[in-house]
Structure 1
Amino acid sequence: MVTMETSKYQTTFNFIKLVTGQAVSVFGTSLLRFALSLYVLDITGRSDIYATLFAVSSLPILLSPIGGALADRFNRKSIMVALDLANGLFSLLLLAAFLLNQSALVIIAIAMILFGFVGAMDTPVITAIIPSIASGDKLESANGILQGVQSLSGIVAPVLGGLLYAMIGMENILIITTAAFFLTALLETRILVPKNKSDYSGNIIRVLISDLKEGFHYTLQHSFIRKTMFISVGLNFALTPLFIVGVPYILRITMNLNTSLYGIGVGVIEFATILGALIVGLVSKKLKVSNFYLWILFISILLIPIIFACTPFMLQYGTLPSFLIFLLSGVPLSACLSIISIFAISKVQKITPTKNLGKVMSIIMATAQCAAPIGQILYGIGFEIFQTTVYVPITITLIATLLLSVISKLLYRNEVDI
């Protein structure tokens, strides 16, 4: 007889296995992409090829809705295992190419794109699996833990990738990642995931196209999901580039920090993102659809001290006071952005039928992530134009965030808390 305690233990252990598998998968691919980029930089000596290759390997995210359609049509556990087997196979083939001295630039480019493609397919599958393992009031915490693990992997993988590349070389890195991917696939076969395979007839391509149309239709027709996707796009457009482009520029150029303080600043802000993901379960009861706009408003308020820290008036007193003001405001801002992102994802997961979950989540994520590069370009232009007055583009971000708060208030005024 299965008791409630036994069932809770099985669920927890099941989730631990899922988190472990995701950590290895995300960490492994991030490490490989970074190490391979360094290898390209070494053999070509050209930073433009290095940067372009790293950027191109991220383009497959646009194909993630296909992964969502597959996740809703076929067994999600089988797809999850197959994707890690694919990572292992690609890593093994790349290792063979290096051992045979066939590691040409085109081979590496193809490999990085393939790893990016697997990652794009994997994200919607995992997102669709989570509600079947951690449901109800545990969903926000589960999403937070997974996002925290993914964020930590994104931070640690480049550092460790650079160290391993220098210490043991590309071939040994590939040996390690190949073994890790195959072992992860083996672990994932032990995860208990409810079966969701749907029967179909006819050509699979046509079936998937039809499923994608259904997913887009459902996403755009459902009031709450459509509104949430719009707000997510706005936040990714206005705020995500602030951390990717703005933070390094402000700390290194505007505040003219030395390497040590710059590293501390970037590290603390990135840690705040992870902290927000990990504590979302503690604050989830205070987060409601009706007060969602207040959290965005709070983020806009936190931008005011950052603007002040970048003014000539503050900078005349030296870099340290501005740096401390920046951190005191930037840390809660980063944590809040992480919290509301996970909150929005969890709410959409709760109201979306299982048959559409993969498609809907992948469509929202792909759409939101496409907005960030546009924002990055505009931030780059803004900081170039206002080199001596960088508080101007940040003030524009403040205005945009305030506008998003007002729009959020109006959009969700008739929505019931889920």
Structure 2
Amino acid sequence: MNKTKKNTILFLLGKLVSLTGTRIYGFAMGLYILKVTGSALNFAVSILLSTIPAIIFGPIGGVIADKVDRKKLVLFSDFISGVIMFVAFGLSQIYGLQLWIIYMSTVFLSIFNTLFTTSFDAALPNLVDEARLGKVNSFNQSINSLTSIIAPIIGGIIYAVVPPTMFMIFNGVSFILSTISEYFIDFYWKVGKVKEKIVAKENQFFSDLKEGFKYIRNNSVLMIVLSVAIFINFLFTAINVAIPHIIVVQFSLSDNLYGIIESAFAVGSLFTSVVFASKLGKFKPVKMGFYLIALGIVNCLFSVPLIISNIGNMDIFVSVFYSILFFIMGFLIVVINIPLSVYMQKTTDDEYRGRVMALNATIVTAITPLGYLLHGLLLDLIPTSIIMIYTGVGIFLLAIFMVKKFKNNGSNEIIAGEMKVAEVEN
């Protein structure tokens, strides 16, 4: 078995085990908090506690990932996450499953998950052949989509028969198994072992972080890609806020129908990342612009049932119509996200990749709560249909901006409609 195939199998296997355990655990703890406290605020606090550490430690993790052996960071992060789960289980046996135990474990898991994700994302281009990087990212997306579908199902079944604290054991074991899988991944076959240069002084850390910002600023194409990624995520907070309100409040659909509609997105993502895995490698600005325009149109179409909502029983129409739109959206998000991710991975120099990935993730994570707050306020002030049209138009304008910027960049590959990075193939 060649290095690429071996690394790919071990990476995806570890990711599947770890992510399944984490999402089942997250589902179970969220359900436990809601059932025991009945408070949406307590549930929101748990989400907030998983977000804030990622924002704070994201840049720190990026600098560390560029200075320290990434394999050591990946193994350390996953192993410590497993230890955190076992410690949380032990505390829950002594004090009972208290909110402070859940909150504390959430914070520490978020910190080490940030370090893990940054390190692995930065190392991924060094683990596989250049021609397979796009396919590996597609399979990675498949695992994300698959676990988002099966985790609530498995979690719901297990929750009915075992104590909530057992989910800590399950998650801890999944982290340890993932660590074992990752131990056998060859992180060095393309680049050799990294000479560790751990940052010891505060001023050196900020200097390294500043270098990361400077690197992004001096790369005009990378700036465009990052800008597109950030604004797409910001606009999508409107969708995430508006759609549940439309389905549950405005059309009063059942919980089952709501679940079916939302699952269509994951099904669309999974279908696309599996079926089109080998075709998502090349970054083509013109085609990307087309996909963004299509995404904008889909967002505008979400307003249609709101505009014609007075024509009798809308339950079946809304359920089918929104399920189709969510499936298409899942398809479009994958064909947009994967080429963007692969492009950033392959065009960023190895010694800067950790900081670039971390800064992008940090900005996206930080802007998300602001987007939720803004669009939540707007939903109380203006019709929901206007919100959906606004997001669609925003994405449409983003597509025009991206294509125009790429053409102004002056690259022959861009003018031809296909961006290639030297001899690198996705």
Assess same fold via TM > 0.5: yes
Q: Which residue number corresponds to residue 227 of structure 1?
A: 224
List runs of 5+ in structure 2 lacking aligned partners.
421-426
Which whole-Å CA distance do the structure 1 matches of 2:311 and 2:138 have between them? 36
CA RMSD of aligned residues (A): 2.4
Q: 1:98 aligns with which of 92, 98, 101?
A: 92
Q: Secondary structure at the match of 2:328?
A: helix
Measured at CA, do residues 223 and 149 of structure 1 come closer, stay the same or move farther in structure 2, by a change above 3 Å? same
- Indicate the residue corresponding to 1:22 in structure 2: 15
Instruction: Using the TM superposition, name which of 330-339 and 398-407 deviates more.
Output: 330-339
Give the aligned residue type for 2:342: S
Instruction: Tell which deviates more after alignment, 295-304 or 155-164.
Output: 155-164
Structure 1 residue 14 displacement after superposition: 1.7
Residues 233 and 367 of structure 1 are in contact (CA less than 8 Å); yes or no, is this contact kept in structure 2?
A: yes
Amino acid at match of 1:360: V
Q: 3-state SS of the aligned residue for 2:302?
A: helix
Q: Which residue of 2 aligns with 1:51?
A: 44
Task: Report how far residue 204 of structure 1 moved.
Answer: 5.3
Unaligned runs of 5+ in 1: 1-5
Which 10-residue stretch deviates more, 91-100 or 24-33? 24-33
TM-score (norm. length: structure 1): 0.89
1:355-394 to structure 2, matched below 5 A, reads 355-386=351-382, 389-394=383-388
Equivalent pair of 2:228/2:402 in contact (CA under 8 Å) = yes
Deviating more after overlay: 398-407 vs 247-256: 247-256
- Structure 1 residue 292 displacement after superposition: 2.2
Structure 1 pair 177–260 and aligned structure 2 pair: CA distance change class (3 A): closer
TM-score calculated relative to the size of structure 2: 0.88
SS of aligned partner of 1:161? helix
Note if contact 2:145-2:270 (Cα within 8 Å) is conserved in structure 1: yes
- Structure 2 distance, partners of 1:324, 1:276, is 20
How far does the alpha carbon of each residue in 1:176-220 deviate from its partner, in whole angstroms, 9 at most, with x for none? 222222222122111111144234387255543332221121112
Shift of 1:285: 6.2
Q: Which deviates the most, 261-270 or 156-165?
A: 156-165
| Structure-2 separation of matches of 1:153 and 1:308 | 31
C-alpha separation in 2, matches of 1:94 and 1:253: 37
- Distance in 2 (CA, whole Å) between partners of 1:381 and 1:302 is 23
* Identical-residue share of aligned pairs (%): 22
Partner residue, 2:423: none
Shift of 1:94: 0.9
Question: Using the alignment, how far apart are the partners of 1:53 and 1:257 within structure 2?
Answer: 27
CA contact (8 A) 1:306 1:330 kept: no
In structure 2, what is the Cα distance between the partners aligned to 1:201 and 1:141?
33
Contact 1:144 1:277 in 2 (8 A): yes
Q: Which amino acid aligns with 2:165?
A: E
- Amino acid in structure 2 at the alignment position of 1:15: T
Mapped contact 2:138–2:274 kept (Cα < 8 A)? yes
Q: Distance in 1 between matches of 2:329 and 2:181?
A: 37
Relative to structure 1, is the Cα distance of residues 328 and 286 closer, same or farther in structure 2, using a 3 angstrom cutoff? Answer: farther
Q: Distance in 1 between matches of 2:275 and 2:283?
A: 12
After superposition, what is the alpha-carbon deviation per residue over 1:6-58, rounded to whole angstroms, capped at 9, x for unaligned?
A: 42xx4212211111112222232333333333444454443312221232222
| AA in 2 matched with 1:180 | S
Separation in 2 of the partners of 1:202 and 1:167?
Answer: 48
AA aligned opposite 2:141: Q
Equivalent-residue separation in structure 1 for 2:309 and 2:142 (angstroms): 37
State the distance in 2 between where 1:47 and 1:298 align: 35
- Determine the C-alpha separation between the residues in 1 that align with 2:282 and 2:215: 29
1:288 maps to 2:284: yes
**How far apart, in 2, do the equivalents of 1:229 and 1:287 lie?**
14
Aligned with 1:203 (options 200, 218, 225): 200
Q: Structure 1 residue 231: deviation in Å?
A: 0.9
1:103 CA displacement: 4.3
SS in 1 for 2:197: coil
Is residue 2:178 matched to residue 1:184?
yes
Judging changes above 3 Å, is the alpha-carbon distance between structure 1 residues 286 and 171 closer, same or farther for their aligned structure 2 residues? closer
Residue identity matched to 2:374? L
Aligned partners of 2:196, 2:271: CA distance in 1, in Å?
42
Aligned residue runs from structure 1 range 230-309, under 5 A: 230-242=227-239, 244-284=240-280, 287-309=283-305
Rounded to whole Å, the distance in 2 between the matches of 1:306 and 1:43 is 35
Per-residue deviation, 1:287: 4.9
Aligned to 1:3: none
State which drifts further: 70-79 or 145-154.
145-154
Trace 1:24-173 onto structure 2 (pairs within 5 A): 24-62=17-55, 63-101=57-95, 103-173=97-167
Post-superposition offset of 1:397: 1.1
Please list the CA deviations of residues 270-328 of structure 1 after superposition, one character each: whole Å capped at 9, or x if unmatched: 22233333345344367512432221112122234322232136754633223323333
Q: Distance in 2 between matches of 1:336 and 1:123?
A: 24
What amino acid does structure 1 have at the position aligned with 2:45?
T
Distance 2:358 2:281 in 1: 26
Secondary structure of 1:407's match? helix
Equivalent-residue separation in structure 2 for 1:374 and 1:134 (angstroms):
37
SS in structure 2 at match of 1:35 = helix
Q: What amino acid sits opposite 1:178 in the alignment? A: G
Q: Which residue of 2 aligns with 1:408?
A: 402
CA deviations on 1:92-137 (whole Å, 9 max, x unpaired) are: 1111112222644323311111111111111111111211123323
